[in-house]
Amino acid sequence: MSETTVKRGNYRWVIVALIFFATTINYIDRQVIGILAPVLEKEIGWDELDYGYIVTAFSAAYAIGLLVVGRIIDKVGTKIGYIIAITGWSFAAMGHALAKSVVGFASARFSLGIFEAGNFPAAIKTVAEWFPKKERAFATGVFNAGSNVGAVVAPLVVPWITLTWGWQEAFITTGLLGFVWLIAWSYFYDHPNKHKSVRKEELAYIQSDPPDPPVKIPWLQLIQYRQTWAFAIAKFLTDPIWWFYLYWVPKFLNNNYGITLDKIGLPLIIIYLMADIGSVGGGWLSSFFIKRGWDVNKGRKTAMIICALLVIPIVFASMASEMWIAVALLSLATAAHQGWSANLFTTVSDMFPRKAIGSVVGFGGMAGAIGGMLIATLAGFILQLTGSYIVLFIISGSVYVVAFLIFNFLVPKLETVEL
């Protein structure tokens, strides 16, 4: 660590650690049902279509929540916004333990989706408040790695809790984690301008970019910009693929290779550890390019197209004769997705002032959730009809390049929107 860095201070990385753990908890609570799906299918008696509808309920709520929550976070601030979101989703996660039917689980998923929608708008806004542009993609990659850590922790603890005490206890135990995080967030977080632990040198570094224009930004004004739609369309096309992995990979491994609940942990851990590497590595890559003198547009988009190309081999996963070949292809695809996601999220802070970031991320997240609704229902129908994952993996491998081309067409150059 250089002497300059020591003098400047690094409290901003404590903030990244906080939103990293919030994202970890977000994905633990989100993934429990995917891990328990084979158990709950027998316990509750649902089929592929029912499961698709349950996942769709979460996606619909997530879309509705993101339409509203980003604007709320822009108004109340990240500290209060995060407290509201994680309190709500923790109660909703525990509420799954009370479900006894398809309708009950769909209702619990809907409640979870409404409140979990607050995580990413709040996190991206927090990064924009605490980091200059040249560090934002890396910081985003670090906190976004929490989604993969959550996906690693869940298959480690959920099967053990379920086999020891029962599936209801799995939902209750994981739901309680959010309340532990709230204590740390309330104690350690404040805006950098107000925080007593931030040195003046670090504050100057955080605020080294040109100041945002002092104008009010009506919500409807934001959707008039092609930059907003470029982000939203990219999210609409690629977010559903991550949700497909999250909810259907355990079922895929169970159906194709007979991997049961007590053995599902290791393959999922490998897949999501690689996704962690992709998240941090993808964010680091564009920051590396920019620090070497590339402009933001070239650095960010080069990292995005590299990630888009690395997803393509997933089209062969459903035809893999050995489970570990499928796991390797899934690992590459999830790593590339998270690298793509870290850079796509960061383009919002490249293009919009800080006061609009929550709203734009919320709008784009809503588009991604609508795509998630479609893939959930589509996956249910395709699997019920064919029993094969071939079509779904072909879709998964194709959409990133399409998304990149559309994004680049709408935004030939990443630069701050004139409001």
Q: What is the pLDDT of residue 174?
A: 92
Q: What is the pLDDT of residue 299?
A: 92
Residue 199: burial class (beta carbons within 10 Å; 0-12, 13-18, 19+)? middle
Residue 406 resides in a domain: yes
Residue 213 resides in a domain: no
Domain of residue 314 covers 3-208+219-410
Residue 324 resides in a domain: yes
Residue 74 is part of a domain; what is its CATH number?
1.20.1250.20
**Cα-based torsion angle of the residue sequence 188, 193, 197, 201 in order, rounded to the nearest 10 degrees:** 140
Residue 417 resides in a domain: no
Dist CA 193 CA 190 (whole Å): 8
Q: What is the pLDDT of residue 231?
A: 95
Q: What is the pLDDT of residue 411?
A: 93
Dist CA 28 CA 125 (whole Å): 22
Dist CA 145 CA 151 (whole Å): 10
Query: How is residue 213 annotated by DSSP?
Result: P
Give the number of domains in the chain.
1
**pLDDT under 70 in the chain at which residues?**
1-8, 212-219, 261, 419
Residue 415 resides in a domain: no
Contact yes or no for 122/232 (Cβ under 8 A) = no
Residue 418 resides in a domain: no
Q: What is the pLDDT of residue 216?
A: 61
Dist CA 327 CA 320 (whole Å): 9
* Cα dihedral across residues 237, 239, 243, 246: positive or negative: positive
Q: What is the pLDDT of residue 3?
A: 45
CA atoms in the 13 A half-sphere facing the CB of 320: 21
Dist CA 325 CA 307 (whole Å): 20
pLDDT in tens, 9-46: 788 899 999 999 999 999 899 888 888 887 888 888 77
Q: Which residues are within 8 A (CB) of 291 and not within 5 positions of it... i.e. 6 or more apart?
A: 134
Q: What is the pLDDT of residue 212?
A: 62
Q: pTM for this one?
A: 0.73
Residue 297 resides in a domain: yes
- 118: helix, coil or strand? coil
Q: Which residues are within 8 A (CB) of 338 and not within 5 positions of it... i.e. 6 or more apart?
A: 141, 144, 145, 147, 148, 242, 275, 276, 278, 279, 282
pLDDT in tens, 339-390: 999 899 889 988 888 777 777 887 888 898 888 888 878 888 888 888 889 9
